[in-house]
Amino acid sequence: SGVNVENAAYPQGWCAEASAIAAMVSSGETEIYELAVMAESDEICTPCGGCRQKIREFASEDLKIFCFGPDGLKATYTLGELLPYSFGPEHLS
């Protein structure tokens, strides 16, 4: 799991997804199987573009991303829907 860390110098903040990925990697894990995004907003909240690419480094385009709000599950997407035509680790070989 991870948390959002806001900073007055916006590029220096950490999204919850990046925090969770860092914790995952430091514990020896190398793959994301499912991902849940929780937000206090009533609007659907999805990972930002930078986090979508970070997630792609550790997951396939079929990864399910569950988006939750205060009242529960609001939407479910695949990573491929949120990041079409992505560039992943398999493109580096």
Residues labelled as active-site residues: 17
* DSSP E strands, 22-82: 34-38, 64-69, 72-78
**Region label for 28, one of left (φ > 0), alpha (ψ between -120 and 50) or beta (otherwise):** left
Residues with Cβ < 8 Å from 69, sequence gap 6 or more?
38, 39, 40, 41, 42, 43, 44, 45
